[in-house]
Amino acid sequence: MADLLSLNIKELNSAIEQMGEKKFRAKQLYDWLHNKLVWDYGEMNNLPKELRRKLSKEYPLPYIEEVQRLQSKLDGTNKFLFKLKDDNIIESVIMQYKHGNSVCISSQAGCRMGCYFCASALGGLVRNLEPSEMLLQVYNIQRITGKRVSHVVVMGTGEPFDNFDNLLKFMEILNSEQGLNISGRNVTVSTCGLVEGIRKFADRKLSATLAISLHAPTDDMRRRLMPVANRYSIEDILEACRYFIEKTGRRVTFEYSMVQGYNDSEEHAKMLSDLLKGMLCHVNLIPVNPIKERDYKQSEPERIERFRSILEKNHVNVTVRRTLGADINSSCGQLRRSYADR
């Protein structure tokens, strides 16, 4: 059965026309679904009763249900566990910044990329999320918290380019004027480096920000953290990033999780600088978040600072990611994981 919440306005038009209804009904329906954030046909009081009855019968809407919410006492971070229609559990986070409220969403239930340090990789991939299920994370969080969502980062569980078409549909609806109208500029998509995905994404010329999970300055080191590095070399990824920059004019973000004694030396910083020198990019240093299933530690703050200053000296833009929600275990699939353990 068609999932009306995953349709863009054009597709909704034809679905409604096929039901023998006038086109403007599609516009009204889209407004309820993506702007008013009402998903109970019964409440859509500008639609004829007969149509509402037909919709309820023929087009049950997908939903996600809050099963847990953690609120940080340190900052505005809130973490949510949502249950999908088929009982799968996903997690999403809202973070408050000066520039607005940013929601981090999951793009898949589980993930098949197998990164060593990542909690979401431990159970493997369960399934892709539908566009509607990505939208509902943003929509529900805005509704529950009453905070207007201005930014979205696709950095939760899952590899977005492993679910490419649904990701793009999600972004299209999120951007739509009749929807929440969150501009592409305010959307960041993070990938472990699927090269074809990066190129396809570049070809769409969206104004979104691309973030690459790099985490190491050599292929050898990267392979030990990320199995995907067996498929794509750093040079292939950088080539695809240059293509993205050429197509979109947008700078690329490189995420670099710092693991104590592994990828955090001065030499590594110099190697990373050499890789990225002259590129329109930005490096985000992230103190790695230990997970109980693995045995590695976060780099010491002094070491991170030293690493940062070397990049800076070499004219590579760099920031250290601030830790948010430290009191609510708010990183990278850990909450979903602990729910599964229970």
Q: Which residues are catalytic?
A: 91, 332
Q: What is the rounded end-to-end Cα distance, in angstroms, of the chain? A: 33
Per CB under 6 A, which region of 15-23, 50-58, 111-119, 312-320 contacts ligand SAH?
A: 111-119
Binding-site member from 21, 91, 255, 264 for ligand SAH (CB under 6 A): 255
- Residue 288 as a binder of ligand SAH (CB under 6 A): the answer is yes
Q: For ligand SAH, give the closer residue by CB, 51 or 228.
A: 228
Closest CB to ligand SAH among 5 and 210? 210
Phi-psi domain of 81 (left: phi exceeds 0; alpha: psi -120 through 50; beta: other)? beta
List the one residue from 80, 332, 336, 337 that touches ligand SAH (CB under 6 A). Answer: 332
Helices (H), the chain: 9-18, 23-31, 49-58, 131-145, 164-175, 195-203, 219-225, 234-248, 266-276, 301-313, 334-341
Which of 6, 163, 213, 299 forms a contact with ligand SAH (CB under 6 A)?
213
- Count of all residues that appear for the chain in the document: 342
**Contact call for residue 78 and ligand SAH (CB under 6 A):** no
Task: Please state the closest distance from residue 101 (CB atom) to ligand SAH, in A.
Answer: 19
Of 134-142, 144-152, 265-273, 283-291, the window that binds ligand SAH (rule: CB under 6 A) is 283-291
Distance of CA 172 to the CA centre of its chain: 14
Contact 287, 256 (CB under 8 A): no
**How many residues bind ligand SAH, per CB under 6 A?**
18
Q: Does 263 bind ligand SAH (CB under 6 A)?
A: no
Contact between 55 and ligand SAH per CB under 6 A:
no
Binding to ligand SAH by residue 166, rule CB under 6 A?
A: no
What is the torsional sign of CA 212, 197, 277, 153?
negative
| 155 binding ligand SAH? (CB under 6 A) | yes
Determine the 3-state secondary structure of 141 from DSSP: helix
CB of 179 to ligand SAH, least distance (A): 23
CB contact set of 94 (below 8 Å; sequence gap of 6+):
76, 77, 78, 80, 101, 102, 103, 104, 141, 145, 147, 149
Binding site for ligand SAH (CB under 6 A): 113, 115, 117-118, 155, 159, 190-192, 213, 255, 257, 286, 288-289, 291, 331-332
